[in-house]
Structure 1
Amino acid sequence: MPLPTRAALRRRPKDDRVLGLAFILPAGIGLVAFYIWPLIRGVWLSFTEYNLLTPATFTGVDNYKRMLNDSVFWNAVKVTLEYVIINIGVQTTVALLIAVLMQRLTRSTFMRAIVLTPYLVSNVVVAMLWLWILDNTLGISNEIIRALTGESVNFFSSALAIPTIALINVWRHMGYTALLIFAGLQAIPSTVYEAGKVDGASQWTMFWRITMPLLRPILTLVLIMTIIGSFQVFDTVSVTTQGGPVNATRVLQYYIYDMAFSRFQFGYASAMAVGLLIVLATITVVQYRMTRAGETDLD
């Protein structure tokens, strides 16, 4: 059998596995260092009593028992659910409306940039901005309300605090969510709408019978992302109300932070974080399967 010539050896395709691993390695190190190892460490700490100053002491499931009997924890769950429902409902509806309007009226890149602008601002800056705008005494909004009604509104009172915080985050995130939905609308072939017009379907009928079913995969993605993000709300609460008044805005993420970095009860805080992880993973899997996100009606 003749040996391959030099020209044949040069034409032989190169093995890119080493190059691929070299590109993946930095991201892999970051994944292990900042995600996988902290996750494993957090799960371990959830079974211990640890205050940062002394070695962790294994306590079994005591932290989880304490969590189930903690009234402040369950209040935090209730407050968080209230925030999630308001934020998800309003944000998804407004984002869908904006996406449809962009699809029907204009597809200008400039308009997309304008819609995305609030999302580019830091959450802390947005919270500080709206805290000033909605201030009970000096805020611009209350100056207008007083001029019209003679009274002011305390937007960060017990009854209005969570809806106010939810709507602040809706304002910041709705542009990004709208662009995700807009991308899904762009992927729907125009031929299906032309077929609907031939069949005599109205715009409203085509929206519910064509647009919404074909948007199911992207809407599922949006809902999963927004639900996970909503359960992790922290910075807006920290800047505006610090969990008050009383526990009216003490969301779960803020309660975990308070336990870990104010009271140094890292074991108990880790147990609550693991509980939140399990809840979010369950919601994601159930939602993904119920909405059949991996399937499309275009086939």
Structure 2
Amino acid sequence: MATTTKKGFTQSQFAIAMVFLIPSFIGFFGFFAWPALRGIYLSFTEYDMLRDPVWIGIDNYVKIFQDPIFFNSIWVTLEYVLLNIGIQTVLALLIAVLLHRFTRSIVIRGIILLPYLIANVIVALVWYWLCDYNLGLINSVLDGLGMQRMGFFGNENLAMPTIALVNVWRHVGYTALLIFAGLVAIPRDVYEAAEVDGAGEWRIFRSVTLPLLRPVLAFVLVVTLVGSFQIYDTIAVTTEGGPVHATRAINVYIFQQAFEQRNFGYASALAVILMIFLAFIAIAQNKMLKANENDLDR
């Protein structure tokens, strides 16, 4: 007779499950755990790929907090994150509510999701051409309306907001569908009870929808926050960190240190700092939003 584990699985079933999990474990350790551990090790070394790593202790970390370009890249990244998350979350919530209240058409949901299915590099290139100062369609329209042409990617005050809006355009549909899934899961009788009590649309949204969406919104905010801090490709194919470092986000700075200046030890230390910062932000965000509970659990 086969013995069972505490969870009710037989040993043979557990062994079969482990066999099927082996590819996932290999992928995890090969493409995540080992590179992460090696990156942490390299952050304590001086390494340029032309010679073996030389252990230098915490010198790279000391250098980081004396590096004005690092602090500028953090500020630039925070500017992008605030613009991207703020605009994207509000628009996604609005789209999701409109979908939930007025239509649940699969065709419309597919149309909303279409921009997300396009590669980010392609989206960046298309918008880069559309916003071109001389030949771009947007500036041609502005010129036709008698308005001044604008250097969207060439102006240090407009470059980062433009990049943020490009990424909002691509991701807002996906985010809206995540929120829409949360809206669909809210019991209909909760809304009916609110309507019976005489609550209007705004009161229902504020007192019923938002509290019950807390777990979904927490998930969406964590995902978009972490993704926003990883911004690289859009910048790489449009501004390359310019003009005047106005769009040199932290990931762009890490790339420049690693592959342009071949300072892999310092770049690894920057990546470790970013990893710790994102982990702290994600944990704090979950705590503040109380991601594991909503008003139905009370």
Q: TM-score range by the shorter chain?
A: over 0.9
Is 1:297 equivalent to 2:287 in the alignment? Answer: no
In structure 2, what residue type is equivalent to 1:86?
A: L
Q: Counterpart of 1:199?
A: 197
Mapping 1:154-173, distance limit 5 Å: 154-156=151-153, 157-173=155-171
Q: Give the secondary structure class of the aligned counterpart of 2:246.
A: coil
Deviation at 1:295, TM superposition (A): 1.3
Deviation at 1:22, TM superposition (A): 1.6
Q: 1:105 aligns with which of 102, 109, 124?
A: 102
- The superposition leaves residues 62-107 of structure 1 with CA deviations (integer Å, 9 ceiling, x where unpaired) of 0011100111111000000000000000000000011001001110
Deviation at 1:46, TM superposition (A): 0.5
Q: What is the root-mean-square deviation of aligned Cα atoms in Å?
A: 1.0
Instruction: Give the direction of change, closer, same or farther, for the CA distance of 1:14–1:68 in structure 2 (3 Å limit).
Output: closer
Q: 1:276 aligns with which of 249, 257, 274?
A: 274
Q: Counterpart of 2:5?
A: none
Q: Counterpart of 2:120?
A: 123
Deviation at 1:125, TM superposition (A): 0.2
Please give the TM-score of this superposition, normalised by the length of structure 1: 0.95
- The superposition leaves residues 164-222 of structure 1 with CA deviations (integer Å, 9 ceiling, x where unpaired) of 00000000000100000000000000101111011111110010000000000000000
Based on CA coordinates, which of the two structures has the bigger radius of gyration? 1
- The superposition leaves residues 209-259 of structure 1 with CA deviations (integer Å, 9 ceiling, x where unpaired) of 000000000000000000000000000000000001121110000000010
CA distance in 1: counterparts of 2:165 and 2:210, whole angstroms: 25
Structure 2 gaps of 5+ residues are 2-9
CA distance in 2: counterparts of 1:269 and 1:14, whole angstroms: 46
Mapping 1:1-299, distance limit 5 Å: 15-156=12-153, 157-299=155-297
- The superposition leaves residues 7-66 of structure 1 with CA deviations (integer Å, 9 ceiling, x where unpaired) of xxxxxx783122211211111100000000001000000000000010000111100111
CA distance in 1: counterparts of 2:296 and 2:129, whole angstroms: 48
Which runs of structure 1 show a deviation greater than 2 angstroms over 4 or more consecutive aligned residues?
Answer: none
Structure 1 gaps of 5+ residues are 5-12
- The superposition leaves residues 118-142 of structure 1 with CA deviations (integer Å, 9 ceiling, x where unpaired) of 0000000000000000000000000
Instruction: Give the direction of change, closer, same or farther, for the CA distance of 1:205–1:150 in structure 2 (3 Å limit).
Output: closer
Deviation at 1:150, TM superposition (A): 4.6
Q: Give the secondary structure class of the aligned counterpart of 1:298.
A: helix
CA distance in 1: counterparts of 2:273 and 2:121, whole angstroms: 26
Deviation at 1:296, TM superposition (A): 2.2
Q: Counterpart of 1:10?
A: none
CA distance in 2: counterparts of 1:252 and 1:20, whole angstroms: 40
CA distance in 1: counterparts of 2:251 and 2:294, whole angstroms: 35
Identity over aligned pairs, percent: 52
Please give the TM-score of this superposition, normalised by the length of structure 2: 0.95
Q: Give the secondary structure class of the aligned counterpart of 2:296.
A: coil
Q: How many residues align?
A: 288
Deviation at 1:266, TM superposition (A): 0.4
CA distance in 2: counterparts of 1:14 and 1:60, whole angstroms: 46
Q: Give the secondary structure class of the aligned counterpart of 1:29.
A: helix
Q: Give the secondary structure class of the aligned counterpart of 1:55.
A: coil
